[in-house]
Chains A and B, each alone.
Chain A
């Protein structure tokens, strides 16, 4: 069965960076997009970008250019998102989700809470 297992909660300081992971299993990792989505407390969902692990191609929501960097390791079937220059506005739950090519998201990770605080 398809599973996306995300890394644990992070407490990080303003101005620092954090890298969160999403380990995929139960399907061919290189054949599907991997998307990342942000959800702030009480707020809706915001698409950050996708990576296609098959060739490393990425596409970002313009709002997250320079904030998020998406990578993928085919050998471990793991996708990563690094967030840089963190501020309180980056405190949120971040989800990874498998995407049917340029289509809908059919499986989601459990989410990672990132808290930016001094």
Chain B
């Protein structure tokens, strides 16, 4: 099974900051990597699919990059409404989520 190592587990940043979250796969996942945002008490929401494709309706401050085993979610200018937990998901072989990154405002 493919393992996903997500970092950091916790992140504190200020409004306007550039924020990056990383996921590392245990083997090449051929860009089959998605990012989800989960606010407290809500279902996860798809932000980015297949590494760098922005889901419809998601603000352009969110972007994704990566290849092989290493992938990154970037928020270019943090907004208060971005406070949430972020998960990556690989779907190259079955499905494995990262453990999550809890993002808070400083």
Give the CA-CA distance A51 to B84 in the complex, in Å: 29
Which of chain A's residues have a CB closer than 8 A to the CB of B42? Answer: 110
Q: In this complex, what residue of A is CB-closest to B46?
A: A106
Give the CA-CA distance A106 to B44 in the complex, in Å: 10
Which of chain A's residues have a CB closer than 8 A to the CB of B87? Answer: 44-45
Q: Is the interface of B mostly helix, strand, loop or mixed?
A: loop
Which of chain A's residues have a CB closer than 8 A to the CB of B65? Answer: none
Q: In this complex, what residue of B is CB-closest to A6?
A: B43
A27 adjacent to chain B (CB < 8 Å): no
Q: Given A45-B44, A108-B45, A109-B43, answer yes or no on A103-B99 (Cβ-Cβ < 8 Å).
A: no
Question: In the complex, are the beta carbons of B43 and A104 less than 8 A apart?
Answer: no
**Which residues in B have some Cβ–Cβ distance to A below 8 Å?**
32, 34, 36, 42-46, 49-50, 55, 87, 89, 91, 94-100
